């Protein structure tokens, strides 16, 4: 029976502190495969992100992108030279052209990260024509991750319109997406493919809300984030009591990769046509990546309950306003 594997896996896999400090227990666990059914709807993201984190640690273990980024004198060739030394040590028997090929490909990844860090210092780099073209792509213009529609005020600020009115922060805020600061509702530009990795042109640029963009930051994997403990114990979202908050990175990663309402009867609303919201599949459980899903406003089971006064949401997250 299919469930026998699951029983065996659960019984023999300690997740508490005892097993986690025992090397042989950890090794035994690493040799088994996790029952597919446990991984649920986000299975491919969960698996893919594990590999991404391993690769990231491997690359960063060769050369620290932060160290390179901070020294303006260092260039791609410097990264290449360091990586090549390590590859030669790891593959002493392999011929030089193939070692150089692998080194090139690893260097591309590391230097793209270096460029990203260097660019993140200067976020607002596009000229006015580019900004206008990006705003004109859809009406209203929306965050490409969450579908949030940008206000007129945010558009004026983005275009640096003279004599514009101050951007007004919303009074009601989604408890799972605390947009509390001017930046959170502002418009930012993102490179889909880093410049260093060959990303150029209008097709390579997307508009993101400041909230999504700041939490996307430099993380590449769900495993780089964890729950956030709410600062108000026993907070209610409708009938549900909230004991943990989903990490903003989990929220935007699942929104960005799913990009569409997950209503069981099917729904074709995407971030291009509607704002999308993060919700829990099972409200008895923790809001971790396996238990998060995406809805449009119409299909959102907590549509009437997720918006709370900004001051309350700020308190819940322990954020200043």
Helices 43-62/76-90 angle, 10° precision:
100
- Choice between 115 and 184, CB closer to Zn ion: 184
CA proximity to 46, closest of 294, 290, 292: 290
- Choice between 237 and 278, CB closer to Zn ion: 278
33-72 residues near Zn ion, rule: CB under 5 A? none
User: Using alpha carbons only, what angle is made at residue 181 by residues 175 and 187, rounded to the nearest 5 degrees?
Assistant: 100
Report, in Å, the least distance between residue 142 CB and Zn ion.
8
Q: What DSSP line would sit under 37-83, residue for residue? A: HHHGGGHHHHHHHHHHHHHHHHHHHHS-HHHHHH-TT--HHHHHHHH
Report, in Å, the least distance between residue 199 CB and Zn ion.
20
If binding is defined by CB under 5 A, does position 299 make contact with Zn ion?
Answer: yes
70-109 residues near Zn ion, rule: CB under 5 A? none
Region binding Zn ion by CB under 5 A among candidate stretches 56-64, 185-193, 207-215, 304-312:
207-215
263-292 residues near Zn ion, rule: CB under 5 A? 263, 267, 269
As a whole number of Å, the end-to-end CA separation of the chain is: 55
Q: Contact with Zn ion (CB under 5 A): which of 59, 80, 111, 148?
A: 148
Region binding Zn ion by CB under 5 A among candidate stretches 55-63, 112-120, 150-158, 202-210:
202-210
Q: What DSSP line would sit under 182-210, residue for residue? A: GGGGSEEEEESS-GGGT--SGGGEEEEEH
Distance in angstroms (rounded) separating the CA atoms of residues 199 and 178: 31
If binding is defined by CB under 5 A, does position 222 make contact with Zn ion?
Answer: no
Q: Contact with Zn ion (CB under 5 A): which of 63, 84, 87, 145?
A: 145
Q: Is the dihedral of CA 305, 307, 310, 314 positive or negative?
A: positive
- Choice between 101 and 298, CB closer to Zn ion: 298
Distance in angstroms (rounded) separating the CA atoms of residues 85 and 68: 17
CB–CB of 291/280 below 8 Å? yes
Report, in Å, the least distance between residue 308 CB and Zn ion.
19
Report, in Å, the least distance between residue 268 CB and Zn ion.
8
Helices 43-62/248-258 angle, 10° precision:
120
Report, in Å, the least distance between residue 220 CB and Zn ion.
18
CB–CB of 9/34 below 8 Å? yes
CA proximity to 141, closest of 210, 214, 207: 207
# residues contacting Zn ion (CB under 5 A): 12
- Choice between 235 and 295, CB closer to Zn ion: 295
Report, in Å, the least distance between residue 59 CB and Zn ion.
28
Q: Contact with Zn ion (CB under 5 A): which of 110, 134, 146, 237?
A: 146
Report, in Å, the least distance between residue 242 CB and Zn ion.
21
CA proximity to 300, closest of 273, 267, 252, 251: 267
Report, in Å, the least distance between residue 119 CB and Zn ion.
19
Binding pattern for the stretch 168-187 against Zn ion, x by CB under 5 A and - elsewhere? --------------------
If binding is defined by CB under 5 A, does position 235 make contact with Zn ion?
Answer: no
- Which residues make up the interface to Zn ion (CB under 5 A)? 143, 145-146, 148, 209, 212, 261, 263, 267, 269, 296, 299
């Amino acid at each position: 029976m299919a469930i026998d594997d699951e029983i065996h896996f659960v019984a023999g896999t300690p997740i508490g502190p005892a097993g986690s400090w025992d090397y042989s227990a950890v090794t035994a666990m690493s040799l088994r495969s996790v029952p597919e059914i446990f991984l649920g709807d986000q299975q491919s993201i969960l698996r893919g992100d594990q590999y991404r984190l391993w690769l990231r640690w491997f690359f960063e273990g060769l050369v620290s992108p932060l160290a390179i980024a901070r020294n303006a004198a260092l260039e791609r060739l410097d990264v290449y030279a360091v990586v090549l030394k390590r590859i030669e040590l790891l593959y002493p028997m392999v011929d030089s052209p193939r070692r150089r090929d692998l080194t090139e490909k690893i260097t591309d990844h590391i230097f793209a990260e270096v460029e990203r860090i260097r660019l993140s210092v200067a976020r607002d780099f596009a000229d006015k024509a580019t900004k206008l073209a990006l705003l004109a792509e859809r009406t209203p213009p929306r965050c490409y991750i969450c579908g949030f529609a940008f206000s007129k005020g945010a558009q004026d600020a983005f275009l640096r319109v003279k004599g514009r009115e101050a951007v007004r922060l919303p009074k009601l805020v989604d408890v799972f997406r605390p947009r509390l600061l001017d930046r959170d509702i502002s418009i930012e530009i993102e490179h889909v493919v880093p410049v260093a990795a060959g990303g150029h042109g209008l097709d390579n640029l997307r508009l993101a809300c400041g909230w999504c963009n700041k939490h996307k930051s430099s993380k590449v994997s769900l495993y780089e984030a964890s729950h956030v403990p709410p600062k108000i114990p026993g907070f209610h979202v409708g009938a549900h009591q909230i004991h943990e908050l989903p990490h903003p990175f989990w929220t935007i990663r699942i929104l960005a990769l799913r990009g569409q309402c997950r209503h069981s009867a099917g729904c074709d609303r995407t971030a291009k046509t509607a704002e999308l919201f993060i919700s829990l599949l099972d409200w008895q459980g923790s809001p971790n990546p396996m238990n998060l899903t995406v809805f449009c406003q119409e299909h959102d089971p907590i549509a009437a309950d997720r918006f709370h006064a900004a001051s309350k949401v700020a308190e819940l997250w322990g954020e200043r306003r």
